[in-house]
Amino acid sequence: MIEKIESIKSEALNEAALIKNVDTLEQFRIKFLGRKGLVHELFEGFKDVPPQEKGRTGKALNELKQVLQEIFDSKKSELETGSAAGDDTDHTLPGRTFNKGTRHLIHQAIDEITSIFAKIGFDIYEGYELEDEFHNFDALNTPDYHPSRDMQDTFYVDSAGKDKKYLLRTHTSPGQVHVMQSNKPPIRVVVPGKVYRNEEVSSRSLAVFHQVEGLYVDKDVSFRELKGTLDYFAWEFFGKGLKTRLRPSFFPFTEPSAEMDVECILCKGEGCRVCKHTGWLEILGCGMVDPNVFKAVGYDPEEYTGFAFGMGIERTLMIKHGIPDIRIFYENDIRFLKQF
Ligand code: PHE
């Protein structure tokens, strides 16, 4: 009997080490301490123990029962407090940190720029990345011989069997055409999105980048309002008091056309390497909507006037944050992204 007690004890100790959850704990209880369990069986056999051994055996038996009960109780409380044997997790240690995803810098900028214009009444229109020649060029008064139509500058899409020639939009300006085709003035809208150019990748240019277009059409819209709107934007986006200037330029779809420069943020207009010692950085193209564009969308150019502008988002961000290479935006290096 004593040997049997010892062997059940060592069996129980082995099995106790395997208790990992409520199920194995319950199996342990049923096997050893249950109503038909091994301890009960031993107590049943106690009556057949010879009288001279009853004292010693009884003592061992009670001891076994007590030990098993203690094992059961302590395993039970371990499981309840979550520190089961074999689980060497220290629940008091601080948790491991991991990188949280955030909105990409470019999308943050799109949100910021569009909401700056939303504050003065501009709606947001997304446009299409796949365009036809009419929206990307013809309606925007861009002649057939214009170099931007060249295969070297534009990604054409195989349009065999289609009624039109399709391409990846080279600017967000076709968004203007869609908005005017399906709305009547007054129109105030910004069109943010991806644009595509068949360009050599370098620190200053990529084949895919982002622009935001702006369009305002109504009766008697003036160039002065264009300048006021752009100054408002530059101050909101780059900082109050920043100097701006408009330089005459050319775009087929605006007349007159201009480019807007802001005072170099790095040298405050003193002249440095980034602004090529001019003190100015170009941020966007703009102008009064050309009457031919109005004709293409069925507006009467005698009745309506308007202005339009377009800016590159990556370029604007490079200026604002002093980012030296446009490719960094797309490398998804967490050390870069984390800073914004
Ligand atoms: N679409 C022109 C570009 O991509 C920018 C522009 C938009 C200029 C609207 C004038 C008016 O460079």
Q: Is the CB of 135 under 6 A from ligand 1?
A: no
Q: Is the CB of 254 under 6 A from ligand 1?
A: yes
Share of the chain residues as helix, strand and coil, in percent rounded to the nearest 5 = 40, 20, 40
Q: Is the CB of 137 under 6 A from ligand 1?
A: no
How remote is the CA of residue 284 from the centroid of ligand 1, in Å?
A: 7
Q: Give the CA dihedral 166, 168, 172, 176, nearest 10 degrees.
A: 10
State yes or no: pLDDT of 252 exceeds 60: yes
Strand (E) or helix (H) holding 66: helix 54-81
Q: Is the CB of 309 under 6 A from ligand 1?
A: yes
Q: Is the pTM of this model over 0.75?
A: no
Q: Which of 146, 149, 173 to mutate to test the pocket of ligand 1 (most atoms within 8 A of CB)?
A: 173
Segment 187-196 mean pLDDT: 98
For the chain, what's the residue count? 340
Proportion of the chain above pLDDT 90, given as a percent: 65
How remote is the CA of residue 268 from the centroid of ligand 1, in Å?
A: 26
SS3 category, 133 = helix
How many Cα atoms occupy the beta-carbon half-sphere of 50 within 13 Å? 3
Which numeric CATH code is attached to 105-337? Answer: 3.30.930.10
3-state secondary structure 207-260: CEEEEEEEEEEECCCCHHHHHHHHHHHHHHHHCCCCCEEEEEEEECCEEEEEEE
Domain extents for the chain? Answer: 2-85, 105-337
pLDDT recorded at residue 262: 95
**Number of the ligand 1 atom closest to the C-alpha atom of 215:** 9
Please, which residues bridge with residue 166 across strands?
132, 157
pLDDT digits (tens, 9 = 90+) for 69-128: 998 898 888 888 765 555 677 888 888 888 888 899 999 999 999 999 999 999 999 999
Residue with the two structure tokens 């530059």: 234
State yes or no: pLDDT of 215 exceeds 90: yes
Segment 47-66 mean pLDDT: 89
The mean predicted confidence, pLDDT, of the chain is 92
Q: Is the CB of 308 under 6 A from ligand 1?
A: yes
pLDDT recorded at residue 87: 64
State yes or no: pLDDT of 186 exceeds 70: yes
Distance from the Cα of residue 206 to its chain's centroid = 20
Atom 4 (ligand 1): residue with closest C-alpha? 171
Q: Is the CB of 251 under 6 A from ligand 1?
A: yes
